Amino acid sequence: MKAFRAACDHPGKARLVVPQGTFAVSQVMFSGPCAGPGPMVVQISGTVMAVSDVSMYPSPEWLIFTDIDGLVILGGGTVNGQGEKIWKYNDCADNSNCARLSSSIVLQNVTNGSIRRITSLNPMGFHFFVTDSKKIRLQRLNIKAPADSPNTDGVHISDSDEVSVSRSVISTGDDCVGILQGSTRIQINKVHCGPGHGISIGSLGKHADEDDVRGVQVKNCTIRDTTNGIRIKTFPYKPEIVPIKASGLLFEDILMEDVRNPIIIDQEYCGRGHSCVNAPSKIELSDIHFYNIRGSTLTPEAISIKCSSAVPCNNVYLSDINLTGINGPTTGLCVNANINTAGVQIPPVHC
């Protein structure tokens, strides 16, 4: 921590180096602003290991970078959350008010940041969490956790603008990438996802103070052996929730291999451990494009578009969709949506 403070306060170019070797640390907050003219560089060449005592984490973060304009994290090293020793304390499957476990690397209120060539193993919670940040690039990440590890999102994004995730391999127990409320101008490109829960927008409509989601592009990705492919999920209506909108969503050039539920819009999502009223969602979904989505599925229903009867989905486009079943023909479901189709359409979808 002293080394980071000295580097951050240095008026010239600065670099903090974690050398070869293994270093055990509990929660650490790297706080700016920094004094130098260029980015603050954190080079991780060795392995940073989390202390596996949950009492050492007063908040659900492990390595926190906050209030920094200009940050580069690189080096080819590893952060190991030792989640396999902690996951037994995760009760979110049965408790909607569960305490979230610590994310491995958190960017909070960071501008002009990048993380590249870092391996993340077995986080307690999320691998990478980007929140309240702008102009963030995550590149060439190697993200690994078992398929049954709970709530281990690969990259979790909320309340952030201009975030990109590219050229990364994500194998985990939850969403490979989760794009939450307040996310705008998000780009996911050349990501290999699986196992895991696929690439998701949402869930939306869970909390009272959410903001719109706009301008999400997911392109040139491979999704393999996941429980879902590409998914948009919103909670049913809650009286305390101010409705938001999600619009300008593009999914293009995506290969599915042995995926369950390749294309999903689910406005009846409740989530395990939650108690939901039987009322249609008020989250407005519009301008959603699925282009050149192809591959194989393990479930007969390859496309499931279940929109809200209160605010039906508007301008949903499906073009050149070719999803074949491993165990037989595939089907498509669509309710409460204004859809447009073009080109190949396997399976056919009608609303």
66-85+100-346: CATH, from 2.160.20.10, 3.30.70.520, 3.40.390.10, 3.40.50.150: 2.160.20.10
Residue 322's nearest CA partner among 288, 348, 298 is: 348
Q: Determine phi and psi for 19, rounding to 5 degrees.
A: -75, 180
Residues 6+ apart with CB under 8 A from 191: 165, 166, 167, 168, 169, 170, 176, 177, 199, 221, 222
**Segments making up each domain of the chain, as ranges:** 66-85+100-346
3-state class (DSSP) for residue 101: coil
The Cα 168–Cα 144 span in angstroms is 11
Residues 6+ apart with CB under 8 A from 146: 84, 122, 173
In the chain, helix, strand, coil percent, each to 5?
5, 55, 40
Residues carrying an active site annotation: 197
3-state class (DSSP) for residue 176: coil
The Cα 330–Cα 332 span in angstroms is 7
pLDDT tens digits, the chain, 351 residues: what are they? 788 999 899 999 899 999 999 999 999 999 999 998 989 999 999 999 999 999 999 999 999 999 999 999 999 999 999 999 999 988 877 776 778 899 999 999 999 999 999 999 999 999 999 999 999 999 999 999 999 999 999 999 999 999 999 999 999 999 999 999 999 999 999 999 999 999 999 999 988 899 999 999 999 999 999 999 999 999 988 878 888 999 999 999 999 999 999 999 999 888 765 667 778 999 999 999 999 999 999 999 999 999 999 999 999 999 999 999 999 999 999 999 999 999 999 999 998
